[in-house]
Amino acid sequence: MAAKEPSTQAPFPQVVRGADLERRAVLYSRVSTNNGQDPEVQSREIREYCLRRGWPVASEYVDVGISGSKERRPELDRLIAEAHKRKFEVVVVWKFDRFARSVSHLLRALETFRALGIEFVSLSEQVDTSTPTGKMIFTVLGAVAELERSLIAERVRAGLRHARAKGKRLGRPAKHVDPTKVAELRAQGVSWRRIGAQLGVSPTKARNAAQEA
């Protein structure tokens, strides 16, 4: 008799009586294109998960044909707006990358949910922020996002130092001000403010150009 292959599906967490069963859940699904991709594949697994937990699904938010790199997503935006109205207590997604476009985006959303008392569950990564393990992962994500910001800032500073070492001038190029034009405008009684506006410089720069001339 052949041995039974172990299931690859992650086990559902144990249902907690009491407050756990009083939570209203919402699901969020996203597919990048509507050509052969069916968001129902994600939504069905999320519904089954909520059924096992005893959570009623209050609403479903599905973005179809929306790239993961896009900042604006109609259904995700609606989810965030209704989160502020406290219409649910749990957000359930199929996978991190279906929900967030980056670690920093995910962290900002989780911080918003935490402030509103909303838990977040990702099935594929088996993350549930209502559990101690989920809280630890949230902390790790924060550290990763902070490291990401620090690395970007350090690369920018290193690039600036390298440019200065090669003698490159940084910042906007200095704008030349024609002192003759300034003198003509002043002779016509034009104020320093209007002179600066006409020449595209500050009034102080226009005055300094006249004094240098």
Do 118 and 91 meet the contact criterion of CB atoms below 8 Å apart? Answer: yes
7, 29, 32, 202: which is the annotated catalytic residue?
Answer: 32
- What's the DSSP call for residue 171? S
Please, what is the Cα angle at 130 between 126 and 134, to 5 degrees?
A: 45
Picking from 64, 65, 148, the residue whose alpha carbon sits closest to that of residue 106 is 148
Q: Is 32 a catalytic residue?
A: yes
Direct distance between the N- and C-terminal alpha carbons of the chain, in angstroms, rounded to an integer: 100
**What residues contact residue 85 under an 8 Å CB cut-off, 6+ apart?**
none
Query: Three-state DSSP class for 128?
Result: strand
Catalytic residues: 32
